[in-house]
Structure 1
Amino acid sequence: MRTLYFDCFSGISGDMVIGALIDAGADPLQMEEELKKLNIDEEYSLSWGKVVKNGITSTKFDVILTNKSEQPHEHSHSHGHEHSHSHGHEHSHSHETEPKHSHAPHDHHGSRTYKQIVEAINEANLNESVTNMSLGIFKKIGEAEGHIHGLPLDKVHFHEVGAVDSIIDIIGAAILIDQLGIESVQSSAIPTGSGHIHIDHGVYPVPAPATLEILKGVPIASNVIRSELATPTGAAIAAVLAGKFGMLPAMTVESIGYGAGTKTFENHPNVLRIIIGEIQ
């Protein structure tokens, strides 16, 4: 059985998942084409390229929003120097262009409701497995946000999590996993980090309430790093897709991918490693 293992020794985020999948040999150009079915490609361009994180060559993936005012807080790094590594792959739309109105409904802050996201996925005519994976991950995040804010699922508004880049991260990851013919997913325990982060509602402990809610029932690894290692998007991808959490299973390894995170840590590479192989 063709299995993908998330080795989350430095946490997990949506962009790290996509970077690692590309690094393991998935085709980002095919993903870019599939994502156009969502009819929001005027709102972003994609960038990917090699970076070195503490001695490990890895792939950094970024979603660059065309309207800078829609930039969510946690992705303020998007206009960084790392795009010089993208080897000309930024071919959606230049982020200097004036964005036209997107076909998908959203308000002027770039946030979308859970209901709007579900409609966009259902109307996009993606592969059935891509649709199911994407809906499952969004439902997990939507339920967590709803639980914390005391809202029913159809009233949940996605702000940082629902901005364009997270829609791309989640659906893009589903497209690449489907493309690689993955039949089962396993994961290590998820380190969440420690300390505090600033989000829309103020200063919160790490893991943020939504991330912790998403990781109910999932083994969490202790980690002394004072930083947010698992984002809600990354946590939801692992929580929904992984059928089993634990050590690396006995497998014949076929490919390995390293996806770079944004932050750099002093003592270890901030990358997500994925290992793909056959389990007998």
Structure 2
Amino acid sequence: MKAAYFDIFSGISGNMVLGALLDAGLKLDILKKELSKLNISDYELQTEKVVKNGISGTYLKVKLSDDDHCHEDHEHQHGRHLSEIEDLIAESDLEESVKDLSTRIFRRLAESEARIHNTDPDQVHFHEVGAVDAIVDIVGTAIGIHKLGIKKVFASRIHIGTGFGNCAHGKIPIPAPATLDLLQDTPVYSTGIESELVTPTGAAIITTLAEEFGSLPLMQIRKIGYGAGSRNLEIPNLLRISTGKLV
């Protein structure tokens, strides 16, 4: 059985997951073809090989053509309610397994945001994570898991950052409230790095995908991929994925 292990030594975000999957063998043209089944446009996927602390990885950016804002600039993008996102996914021609996984990730994210903002999940307006880039990250991840034939996902303990960051609501603590909420019952640790290592999208993806968090399971590793983050840190800002056969 093919499995994947996410080594989250420098946190996790949506585009780091996609970058790691591409680095581990997912073809960019296949990803683009599958994403074209969604009724969204005016964006472009850009990838480049970057080096973080001497280690090469793939950096993916979703570039919006309408306002020239890049992947990290969530707060300037148009938001969507959960029902709109679910309809967008349901009405596409994507594989059913991709639709199911994508919807479960977004539903988990909405439930967390609802707890933080004291509202109903269906009323959550995704100011930041509901924009085009996060839809691409989440649906793209589901596409990658399907196309690479991954049946089981495992992950390491999660390295989280500290400090404060800015969002649509103003200055908030890191990890962001939604991130920390999503990581309940998941083993996490911090080394005091003042940066948002884990985003809500990244937390929603990995806590939906992973069956277990801990050490690398007994497996024959066939492919290794590194997905790069945008910042330069004192540690390699990379997410590592190892895929192979469980033994």
> Do these two structures clear the TM 0.5 threshold for a shared fold by scoring above it?
yes
Deviation at 1:222, TM superposition (A): 2.1
Q: Judge conservation of contact 2:77–2:128 (CA < 8 Å) in 1.
A: no
- Relative to structure 1, the CA distance from residue 3 to residue 200 in structure 2 (aligned partners, 3 Å threshold; closer, same or farther) is same
Show the counterpart of 2:30.
30
Map Cα deviations across residues 228-258 of structure 1 (whole Å, 9 max, x no partner).
1000111111000000100111110000000
TM-score (norm 1): 0.85
Q: Secondary structure at the match of 1:37?
A: coil
Show the counterpart of 1:168.
136
Deviation at 1:109, TM superposition (A): 4.9
**Is residue 2:56 matched to residue 1:57?**
yes
Map Cα deviations across residues 80-108 of structure 1 (whole Å, 9 max, x no partner).
xxxxxxxxxxxxxxxxxxxxxxxxxxxx9
**Is residue 2:208 matched to residue 1:211?**
no
> In 2, Cα distance between the equivalents of 1:269 and 1:207?
19
Show the counterpart of 1:275.
242
Matches of residues 71-220 of structure 1 in structure 2 within 5 Å? 71=69, 75-76=72-73, 109-220=77-188
Deviation at 1:144, TM superposition (A): 0.6
> In 2, Cα distance between the equivalents of 1:273 and 1:109?
29
Map Cα deviations across residues 16-50 of structure 1 (whole Å, 9 max, x no partner).
00111110111111111111111212x21111121
Deviation at 1:76, TM superposition (A): 3.6
Show the counterpart of 1:99.
none
> In 1, Cα distance between the equivalents of 2:103 and 2:213?
21
Residue type of the alignment partner of 2:239: L
Show the counterpart of 2:20.
20
Unaligned runs of 5+ in 1: 78-107
Map Cα deviations across residues 149-199 of structure 1 (whole Å, 9 max, x no partner).
111111110011111100000000110110000010000111121111111
Q: Based on CA coordinates, which of the two structures has the bigger radius of gyration?
A: 1
Q: Secondary structure at the match of 2:181?
A: helix
Q: Secondary structure at the match of 1:275?
A: strand
TM-score (norm 2): 0.96
Residue type of the alignment partner of 1:193: G
> In 1, Cα distance between the equivalents of 2:122 and 2:233?
39
Show the counterpart of 2:230.
262
Where do 4+ consecutive residues of structure 1 move more than 6 Å? none
RMSD, aligned α-carbons: 1.5
Residue type of the alignment partner of 1:250: L
Show the counterpart of 1:94.
none
Residue type of the alignment partner of 1:277: G
> In 1, Cα distance between the equivalents of 2:47 and 2:154?
25
> In 2, Cα distance between the equivalents of 1:183 and 1:134?
15
